């Protein structure tokens, strides 16, 4: 009896240990390759710069565009960073070891994606007010912008990781990921930018954030399954 509880305890400990170990490894690796960290953020900034240049620098007009532009820019830069998620692990063979190891793949994958999100999606969220300022987003919209990005970008990372896992073995994976994943991003984009618009006009945000949260919960539950299945398939050939 005591033996059993002990082993269960041990297992639980080792599961959370596994989770954190994977996270730590991801952080270490990503801080060693700083360009992978910074590039999506620079891209985010550049896309936002293009809009005033391409459309009009007029503040009122830009303020109207701002929620959508910031969200589209965040979506594209998340997408840009997805390609690197499994690629280096694939190239140095550690992905194959991961699949062969007895640890539950669901958890490892989840840890990888969440670690990846915290260096891209979270960074984008923190940087978003700067873009909001550049695009004359009213100050009332800022909390809505940050909250919606905080809830929406993890979903983007989880769904994007499915695309990354499906294309990991391919040489020209980059463009293909966008083809596969962009249509799936549409609900997040719609609810995210609507949340910002609601915040700007002073309407209650709760409903939008709840919807984004529901999408996140769904993605948290299902995406790791799809990602692990996709990884197994990609590595089987």
Partner 1 sequence: MAEKKWMPRWFYQLASPRWCYQITGKLLPGFAVAALLLLAGGSIWALMFAPADYQQGNSFRIIYLHVPSAILAQSAYMLMAVAGAIGLIWKMKVADMVLKSAAPIGASMAVLALATGAIWGKPTWGSWWVWDARLTSMLILFFLYLGVMALNSAIENESTAAQASAVLSLVGVVNIPIIKYSVEWWNTLHQPATFKLTEKPAMPAEMWVPLLVMVIGFYCLFAVSLMMRLRNEIIWRERRTGWVRELLIKQ
Q: Which of 109, 166, 196, 209 binds partner 1 (CB under 8 A)?
A: 166
DSSP H helices, the chain, are 2-32, 34-54, 59-82, 84-91, 94-100, 105-119, 121-134, 141-166, 173-201, 206-236
Task: Out of 194, 195, 196, 200, point to the residue binding partner 1 (CB under 8 A).
Answer: 194
- Phi-psi group of 93: left, alpha or beta (phi > 0 → left; psi -120 to 50 → alpha; rest → beta): left
Q: Tell me if 76 sits within 8 A of 116, measured CB to CB.
A: no
Draw the binding track, 130-149, toward partner 1 (x: CB under 8 A; -: no contact).
--------------------
Contact 236, 175 (CB under 8 A): no
Size of the chain, expressed as the number of residues it contains: 237
Q: Closer CB to partner 1, residue 30 or residue 228?
A: 228
Size of site (CB under 8 A) for partner 1: 28
Exactly one of 190, 205, 209, 210 binds partner 1 (CB under 8 A); that residue is: 190
User: Is 222 among the residues that bind partner 1 (CB under 8 A)?
Assistant: yes
Could you tell me the smallest distance in angstroms from the CB atom of residue 209 to partner 1?
15
Distance between CA atoms of residues 134 and 186, nearest Å: 25
Rounded to 10°, the helix 105-119/84-91 angle is: 120
* Binding segment toward partner 1, per CB under 8 A, in 41-49, 69-77, 111-119, 187-195: 187-195
Residues of this chain that interact with partner 1 (CB under 8 A) are 159, 162, 166-167, 169-170, 172, 176, 179-180, 182-184, 186-187, 190-191, 194, 215, 218, 222, 226, 229-230, 233-234, 236-237
């Amino acid at each position: 009896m005591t033996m059993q509880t002990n082993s269960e305890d041990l297992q639980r400990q080792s599961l959370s240990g596994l989770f954190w170990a994977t996270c730590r490894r991801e952080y270490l690796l990503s801080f060693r390759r700083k360009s992978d960290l910074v590039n999506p953020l620079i891209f985010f900034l550049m896309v936002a710069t293009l809009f005033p240049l391409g459309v009009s620098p007029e503040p009122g007009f830009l303020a109207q565009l701002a929620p959508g532009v910031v969200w589209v820019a965040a979506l594209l830069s998340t997408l840009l960073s997805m390609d690197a998620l499994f690629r280096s692990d694939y190239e140095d063979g550690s992905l194959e070891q991961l699949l062969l190891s007895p640890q539950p793949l669901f958890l490892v994958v989840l840890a990888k994606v969440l670690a990846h999100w915290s260096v891209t999606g979270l960074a984008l969220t923190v940087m978003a007010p700067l873009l909001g300022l550049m695009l004359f987003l009213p100050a009332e919209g800022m909390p809505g912008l940050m909250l919606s990005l905080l809830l929406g970008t993890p979903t983007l990372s989880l769904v994007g990781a499915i695309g990354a896992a499906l294309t990991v073995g391919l040489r020209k994976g980059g463009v293909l990921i966008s083809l596969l994943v962009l249509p799936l991003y549409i609900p997040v984009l719609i609810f995210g930018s609507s949340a910002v618009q609601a915040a700007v006009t002073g309407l209650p945000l709760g409903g939008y954030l709840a919807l984004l949260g529901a999408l996140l919960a769904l993605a948290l539950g299902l995406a790791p399954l799809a990602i692990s299945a996709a990884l197994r398939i990609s590595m089987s050939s």
